[in-house]
């Protein structure tokens, strides 16, 4: 279940395939593996991409061997490029634009991801001390996302990420400082290799799990309220009965990659994956 106080839906930062030219299905490469049923080179349309830019097996992706597609999130970058940067003219209509469109896609995705995180900061009451800086950063990045494709490709994205990351770290510290007692704040697993770790019913409130490898970890019934999960790898992590309400910087892609159930509590604004049972 989600919180009854659901924040704004952020439609501009959610993928809208109806307004996109199938960019994630064309621009990005993937290799035959557990996540993808076949190899595909960057710039080559996926064999499942239809003429209308929709996926022909969208409702059966996991069954057909494409779970990797179900956990990818462009944060709305696809429709921004399709409808704003290239003014609604697709790579099929204007083939000469294809290369530029594909090059700008990963850049736009990173910028939109940062916009998502900054939106999170602005909704955290305890992070009020950095709201002004976060709002200014958000406005600067939003302006950049509306630049020409050549300007976007030339943008110093690592520098932008570095500035935003400093704000995210400060916001995280401010929020986790409010966790009752010092226990949660002492759980520093930043970047830790926790593959298959056993955290069943663990008290991880306010824990620092930034960038932690939690692949196939057992988090059944764990309390992850106010834990910082930015960049944490939750592939196949068991979240049955876990409480992630208020978890910091958790994204839909991370939730989609995990294994939860009807008793898993997730933050407001995120959606329960259809494959959770």
Residue 6 predicted with pLDDT over 70: no
Residue 119 predicted with pLDDT over 70: yes
Q: What pLDDT is recorded for position 268?
A: 87
Domain with CATH 2.160.20.80 in the chain: 181-277
Q: What pLDDT is recorded for position 69?
A: 95
Q: What pLDDT is recorded for position 84?
A: 98
Q: Over range 21-33, report the average pLDDT.
A: 96
Provide the pLDDT confidence category of residue 8 given band limits of 50, 70 and 90.
Answer: low
Rounded percentage of the chain residues whose pLDDT exceeds 90: 91
Residue 7 predicted with pLDDT over 80: no
What is the pLDDT of the chain when averaged over all its residues?
93
pLDDT digits (tens, 9 = 90+) for 139-168: 999 999 999 999 999 999 999 999 999 999
User: Which CATH architecture is the domain 181-277 placed in?
Assistant: 3 Solenoid (2.160)
Residue 2 predicted with pLDDT over 90: no
Q: Cα separations (Å) of 34 from 38, 45, 235, 258, 259?
A: 10, 20, 12, 15, 16
pLDDT digits (tens, 9 = 90+) for 167-221: 999 999 999 998 876 444 557 899 999 999 999 999 999 999 999 999 999 999 9
Q: What pLDDT is recorded for position 182?
A: 44
What is the rounded CA–CA span in Å between residue 227 and residue 247?
A: 5
Q: What pLDDT is recorded for position 178?
A: 86
Rounded percentage of the chain residues whose pLDDT exceeds 70: 95
DSSP 8-state symbol, 6 = P
Closest to 237 (Cα-Cα) out of 266, 270, 269, 206:
266
Asked whether the beta carbons of 232 and 217 are under 8 A apart, the reply is no
């Amino acid at each position: 279940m989600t919180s009854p106080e659901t924040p704004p839906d952020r439609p501009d930062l959610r993928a809208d395939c109806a307004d996109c030219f199938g960019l994630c299905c064309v621009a990005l490469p993937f290799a035959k593996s557990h996540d993808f049923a076949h190899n595909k080179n960057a710039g080559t349309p996926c064999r499942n991409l239809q003429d209308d830019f929709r996926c022909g097996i969208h409702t059966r992706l996991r069954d057909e061997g494409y779970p990797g597609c179900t956990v990818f999130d462009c944060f709305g970058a696809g429709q921004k490029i399709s409808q704003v940067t290239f003014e609604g003219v697709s790579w099929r209509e204007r083939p000469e634009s294809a290369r530029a469109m594909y090059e700008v896609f990963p850049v736009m995705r990173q910028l939109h991801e940062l916009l998502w995180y900054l939106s999170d900061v602005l909704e955290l009451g305890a992070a009020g001390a950095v709201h002004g800086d976060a709002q200014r950063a958000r406005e600067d990045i939003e302006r950049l996302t509306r630049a020409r494709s050549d300007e976007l490709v030339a943008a110093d994205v690592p520098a932008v990420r570095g500035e935003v990351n400093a704000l995210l770290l400060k916001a995280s510290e401010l929020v986790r400082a409010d966790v009752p007692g010092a226990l949660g704040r002492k759980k520093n697993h930043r970047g830790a290799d926790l593959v298959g770790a056993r955290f069943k019913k663990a008290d991880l409130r306010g824990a620092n799990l930034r960038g932690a490898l939690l692949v196939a970890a057992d988090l059944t019934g764990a309390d992850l309220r106010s834990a910082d999960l930015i960049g944490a790898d939750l592939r196949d992590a068991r979240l049955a009965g876990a409480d992630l309400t208020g978890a910091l910087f958790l994204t839909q892609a991370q939730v989609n990659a995990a294994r939860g159930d009807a008793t898993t509590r997730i933050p407001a604004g995120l959606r329960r994956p259809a494959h959770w049972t």
